[in-house]
Amino acid sequence: MVVSLAETGMGFQLVASLNVLGEDEMWLILTGEIAVGLGNKAEFEGWVLARGALSPWWPFFAAARVPALDLRAVQLMMQRTAAGYQPNPGRLPTGAVPARSALVTSTTTDAGQKFYRFSSSSSDARVDPTDGHFVRGTYATTSTDIPMAPSGFAAVGRYALPNVQPASYRYEIEPSPGTKVEYGTVAPAYGQSGGGVEVLFPDGAVNVGTHSGPVKLPDA
């Protein structure tokens, strides 16, 4: 279900859902697979402070596998490039809310233009494994920006990702001409510097280029 929702930023979503009692719950969803509970500030800050020390065991700390959760009435809380961005919607812990992307602009793609997505997963659910299409609301970056992210951990820093795993899998897409895109500059968040260019495909993207799966980059 979470894959059908747009992303907050590349590889993550901030969502709200209802539990069995009809109460609101807040989650940080990583690569559509891991859900980190944001029920209170201490819980989130505990995860942020401990995530480096606990790697590679991070999925078992204040987190759960998304398929194991009964997420009901799931709603996306925000997108970094969205014009209607709120500084802290709902009851999200302050540290969980990334700053809005700067210099946001909308345009359409040109013929032959390529974009790239960094992910910690070799089977990213937002990328069709057969043809490389992107689902609606997927983030990526530009061909001119990828030299600044030569490794998985470099991508985590440049695109200010909350995922503690290196984003070492790089997906390429050549969208059909005229595909709608939104560009922005990533602001610092989650203890990462940001500064990269992020691209949102609000309506998804059809890949007209070749597709052979992701390129595996060095972690560091």
What's the pLDDT score for residue 1? 64
Same domain, 90 and 192: no
What's the pLDDT score for residue 90? 60
Question: What is the rounded CA–CA span in Å between residue 58 and residue 53?
Answer: 9
C-beta of residue 155 within 8 angstroms of C-beta of residue 216: no
Same domain, 21 and 83: yes
Same domain, 188 and 143: yes
What's the pLDDT score for residue 89? 61
What's the pLDDT score for residue 19? 72
* Boundary-marking domain end, from 96, 126, 156: 96
What's the pLDDT score for residue 167? 96
What's the pLDDT score for residue 51? 53
What's the pLDDT score for residue 42? 62
Q: For the full predicted model, state whether its pTM sits above 0.75.
A: yes
What's the pLDDT score for residue 139? 97
Among 175, 176, 177, 195, CA closest to 185: 195
Give per-10-residue mean pLDDT for the chain (220 aa).
88 84 80 78 59 43 61 84 61 74 92 97 94 97 97 96 90 98 92 93 96 95
Q: Give the number of C-alpha atoms closer than 13 A to the C-alpha of residue 74, restricted to the C-beta side.
A: 19
Same domain, 65 and 110: no
Same domain, 92 and 110: no
What's the pLDDT score for residue 56? 42
Write a three-state SS string for 153-205.
Answer: HHHHHHCCCCCCCCCCEEEEECECCCCEEEEEECCCECCECCCCEEEEECCCE
Same domain, 18 and 116: no
* Boundary-marking domain end, from 40, 64, 96: 96
Same domain, 79 and 161: no
Same domain, 15 and 39: yes
Same domain, 204 and 129: yes
Domain count, the chain: 2
Burial (CB count <10 Å: 0-12, 13-18, 19+), residue 110: exposed
Question: What is the rounded CA–CA span in Å between residue 93 and residue 46?
Answer: 12
* Boundary-marking domain end, from 96, 125, 158: 96
Q: Is 72 helix (H, G, I), strand (E, B) or coil?
A: strand
Write a three-state SS string for 39-50.
Answer: CCHHHHHHHHHH
What's the pLDDT score for residue 75? 85
Same domain, 134 and 83: no
Alpha helices in 75-164 (DSSP H): 152-158
The range of the structural domain enclosing residue 63 comes to 2-96
Same domain, 58 and 128: no
Same domain, 55 and 107: no
